[in-house]
């Protein structure tokens, strides 16, 4: 049978950056994959050079909607490193609380999406209903559902009140109960298991070789987490367990994210119990001293790393951002490459793509099918491709 090329994207196959994938298929088997990104390159790094450090906070926050907290923490602490100043402990705790709430919302969002991609929409509906609890908590805490606008250079902009702490505790109890239920669902429900076990294989060696990050790396049995290695904010004090799985497939990625959600709930609870009193920000001069700095944060999707260089003016001379999805792209191509007995089918593409949790913009997507030998091509919408995927299984 002649090879086909199946083009998925650029009107994005999964979360965040719209990417264009070309899958070379032989029948129902994917033979090789090419990836092309850059469709959402907005020139943020260049734009950051023309704005002051304070003006850059809202800009950096808009790198990614879902993990905006990770990016803003990374940015503000990077600038604080330039000053060589520590921020008040209470602010560090508030940063940790909002960061973990953000992780809960991001992971629950992903579990819903994963359910949707495997044709288990009931899971999507339930998870997303419960995700509203954490969205409301974030709104109560910051005034916004998504872009929190809580970080500032030298601390945070809002304090948390005792009433809010009570509210947070109530919400966390509900979230914990529900997440434990989903843990049961994803580890026992055959609808899930038959679609995630043995799919999207990324061995430990491959994950290390391709420098994968975050839950993708941890699901391949590598114990690596920035919160443990390079403890920022209050993570040096808040106890938590680095969740890993050695199944090296999509099942592992689902399990890691579910347990990480439970772990995040515990971390927020610890922070609420142990948060010290005091100010929530210090005032810093507008211009940091000359120098350069590297800052790292464990975003919901993995290691997020920022680099800043200051030339002694009120604007950064260079600002570099590496979001975790780029780190997982090479690993993703590896997951979609068949080797030995491991086959990749067209029907597996949606869930494997979603498996690294690339940031999702909910766009309509199409796939173009080309048969080069017959000069024939046709278009399927993403829904048609998914319908095909579901019928195939």
Partner 1 sequence: MSLNKEEKLVSEIRELLGDRVLDAKVQRLRSIFVTVRAQDYKESIREVAEKYGITHVSTITGADSGQTIDVMPHLSCAGVKITFKAAIPKTFAEIETLTDVFPGAVMYEREVHDLLGVKFKGHPNLARLVLSDDWPGDVYPLRKEYKVVRPEPIR
Sign of the C-alpha dihedral, residues 109, 328, 302, 151? negative
CA 60 to chain centre: 16
How many C-beta atoms lie closer than 10 Å to residue 275's C-beta?
Answer: 18
Q: Which stretch binds partner 1 (CB under 8 A): 53-61, 152-160, 304-312, 343-351?
A: 304-312
Q: DSSP code of 277? A: P
Per-state percent for the chain, helix, strand, coil, to nearest 5: 50, 20, 35
Q: How many residues bind partner 1 (CB under 8 A)?
A: 36
Return the half-sphere exposure (C-beta side, CA atoms, 13 A cut-off) of residue 300: 30
Nearest distance in Å: CB 195, partner 1: 28
208 touching partner 1, by CB under 8 A: yes
Of these, 24, 128, 240, 307, which contacts partner 1 (CB under 8 A)? 307
Q: Contact letters (x/-) for partner 1, 249-288, by CB under 8 A?
A: ----------------------------------------
Q: Which is nearer to partner 1, 212 or 346 (CB)?
A: 212
- CB nearer to partner 1: give 152 or 224: 224
Whether the bond into 10 is cis, omega within 30 of 0: yes
Using the rule CB under 8 A, is 59 a contact of partner 1?
Answer: no
* Tokens 């997303």 sit on residue: 128
Residues 19 to 58: which contact partner 1 by CB under 8 A? Answer: 36-38, 41, 43, 45-47, 50
CA torsion angle 155 225 325 115 (round to 10): -110
Region near partner 1 per CB under 8 A, out of 22-30, 65-73, 159-167, 320-328? 320-328
CB-wise, 47 or 379, nearer to partner 1? 47
Instruction: Restricting to residues 104-143, name those near partner 1 by CB under 8 A.
Output: none
Tokens of 372: 């080069």
Q: Using the minimum distance from each CB to partner 1, give the nearer residue, 77 or 102.
A: 77
Looking at 158, 315, 318, 345, which residue binds partner 1 (CB under 8 A)?
318
Residues 209-228 that bind partner 1 (CB under 8 A): 209-212, 224
Burial class from Cβ neighbours inside 10 Å (0-12, 13-18, 19+) for residue 307 reads: middle
CA–CA gap between residue 115 and residue 251 (Å, rounded): 12
Taking the C-alpha atoms of residue 204 and residue 209, their distance in angstroms, rounded to an integer, is: 9
- Please report whether residue 7 would count as binding partner 1 according to CB under 8 A: no
Indicate the residue among 47 and 54 with the shorter CB distance to partner 1: 47
295 beta partners: 306
Closest C-alpha among 262, 268, 200, 206 to residue 234:
268
Q: Is 237 a binder of partner 1 (CB under 8 A)?
A: no
- Positions touching partner 1 (CB under 8 A) are 36-38, 41, 43, 45-47, 50, 81, 84, 208-212, 224, 229-230, 291-294, 296, 303, 305, 307, 309, 317-318, 320, 322, 326-327, 329-330
């Amino acid at each position: 049978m002649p090879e086909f090329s199946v083009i998925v994207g650029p009107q994005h196959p999964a979360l965040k950056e719209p990417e264009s994938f070309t899958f070379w298929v032989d029948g129902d088997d994917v033979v090789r994959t090419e990836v092309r990104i850059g469709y959402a390159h907005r020139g943020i790094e260049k734009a950051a050079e023309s704005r002051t450090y304070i003006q850059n906070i809202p800009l950096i926050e808009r790198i990614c909607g879902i993990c905006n907290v990770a990016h803003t923490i990374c940015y503000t602490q990077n600038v604080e490193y330039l000053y060589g100043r520590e921020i008040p402990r209470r602010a560090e705790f508030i940063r940790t609380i909002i960061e973990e709430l953000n992780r809960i919302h991001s992971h629950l969002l992903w579990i819903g999406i994963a359910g949707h991609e495997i044709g288990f929409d009931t899971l999507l509906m339930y998870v997303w209903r419960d995700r509203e609890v954490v969205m409301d908590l974030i709104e109560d805490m910051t005034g916004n559902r998504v872009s929190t606008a809580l970080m500032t250079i030298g601390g945070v902009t809002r304090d948390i009140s005792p009433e809010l702490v009570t509210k947070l505790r109530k919400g966390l109890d509900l979230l914990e109960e529900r997440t434990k239920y989903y843990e049961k669902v994803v580890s026992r429900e055959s609808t899930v298991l038959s679609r995630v076990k043995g799919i999207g294989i990324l061995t430990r060696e491959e994950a290390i070789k391709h420098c994968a990050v975050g839950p993708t790396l941890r699901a391949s049995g590598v114990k690596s987490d920035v919160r443990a290695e390079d403890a920022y904010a209050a993570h040096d004090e808040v106890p938590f367990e680095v969740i890993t799985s050695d199944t090296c497939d999509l099942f592992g990625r689902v399990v890691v994210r579910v347990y990480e959600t439970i772990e995040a709930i515990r971390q927020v609870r610890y922070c609420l119990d142990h948060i010290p009193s005091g100010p929530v920000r210090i005032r810093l001069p507008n211009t940091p001293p000359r120098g350069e700095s590297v800052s790292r944060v464990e975003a919901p999707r993995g290691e997020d790393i920022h680099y800043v260089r200051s030339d002694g003016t009120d604007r950064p001379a260079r600002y570099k951002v590496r979001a975790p999805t780029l780190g997982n792209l090479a690993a993703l191509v590896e997951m979609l490459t068949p080797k030995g007995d491991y086959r990749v089918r067209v029907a597996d593409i949606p869930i494997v793509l979603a498996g690294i949790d690339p940031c999702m913009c909910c766009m309509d997507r199409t796939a173009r099918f080309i048969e080069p030998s017959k000069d024939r091509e046709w278009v399927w919408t993403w829904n048609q491709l998914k319908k095909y995927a579901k019928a195939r299984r």
